[in-house]
Structure 1
Amino acid sequence: MAPNALQQVPVGSSQEQVLVVLGTPSTTATLKGEVYYYITQRSKRAVAFLNPTITDQTVVAVYFNKDRRVEKVAHFGVQDGRIIDFVGETTPTAGQERNFLEHVFKGLLSNED
């Protein structure tokens, strides 16, 4: 995802505009409306024949209201072993989305929860 791409889909943007700017989402969900998730990973391979290890991962979530307009954008990542929204500087609350994010970030989270 281009560094300035999120600036091109501010609150109020149409779902079609999001698809044009950000492309097809990695996955979607229906929570209190539709959500597009864009998952980005960085990995490294210690030895050529071994599977790569994920070293960093982010998830951009674009939330739509019932009119299919952007209601909110969140940029999730792992900081200090916990999932945090870098836009709102909050951690996701319990529920479907937190369970989904914990699954996506499995391996990057601390085991202290």
Structure 2
Amino acid sequence: MRRYQPLLARLATAAFLGLSVAACTMGEEFQRGYQLDENVVAQIKKGQSADQVLASLGTPSTVSTVGNKSWYYISQRSRRTFQFLGEQVVDQRVAAVYFDNGLRVERVAVYGIQDGKVFDFISRTTPSGGQETSFLGQILRGTNSFNPFGT
């Protein structure tokens, strides 16, 4: 029995390491946002009231900021192949319900990941227009216009 103890210890270590690596490589899939059912979205017809849309689809993920005339139901699915790597967006869908001035459905559209660029809903940052410069670049830009005599 003593003869087999080093062999058993090696086998147990190899099994433990194998299971650890397998656990790290098991992929995960994440579903965020509204659970978009295209059959329910297809039942929304032109002329329906906002209350009927709320009853069918529920509360929207977000609404347009001007006039509350568009409602958006956002769904995103991402996948992570390794535990230590970041996620990659696999699918993103936005169901948009557009209303007229009387809050009646004007049209409904479903946009997919192929229709636009993937954006981060959480960052709450607005990209600025123009040239992006570093902090050092901004400091150096101001030095060439310095005039100590004020003329």
Q: TM-score range by the shorter chain?
A: 0.5 to 0.7
Q: Evaluate the alpha carbon distance shift between residue 50 and residue 23 of structure 1 in structure 2; reply closer, same or farther with a 3 A threshold.
A: farther
Secondary structure of the 1:60 match is: strand
2:60 is equivalent to residue 60 of structure 1: no
Q: Provide the rounded CA distance (Å) in 1 between the counterparts of 2:106 and 2:67.
A: 11
- TM-score, normalization by structure 1: 0.64
Any stretches of 5+ residues in structure 2 without a counterpart? 1-35, 121-151
Secondary structure of the 2:92 match is: strand
The sequence identity of aligned pairs, in percent, is: 44
Q: Deviations over 1:55-90 (max 9, x none)?
A: 1101111001111110011111233xx53xxxxxxx
Q: Larger C-alpha radius of gyration, 1 or 2?
A: 2
Q: Per residue, is there more strand in 1 or in 2?
A: 1
> Superposed, which structure 2 residues align to 1:1-113 within 5 Å?
1-31=36-66, 34-79=69-114, 82-83=115-116, 102=117, 105-106=118-119
Q: Provide the rounded CA distance (Å) in 2 between the counterparts of 1:34 and 1:3.
A: 21
- TM-score, normalization by structure 2: 0.49
Q: Deviations over 1:30-64 (max 9, x none)?
A: 45761000111111112235443211101111001
Secondary structure of the 1:4 match is: helix
Q: Provide the rounded CA distance (Å) in 1 between the counterparts of 2:65 and 2:46.
A: 18
Secondary structure of the 1:43 match is: strand
Q: Per residue, is there more helix in 1 or in 2?
A: 2
Q: Provide the rounded CA distance (Å) in 2 between the counterparts of 1:74 and 1:32.
A: 19
Runs of 4+ in 1 over 4 A off after TM superposition: 30-33
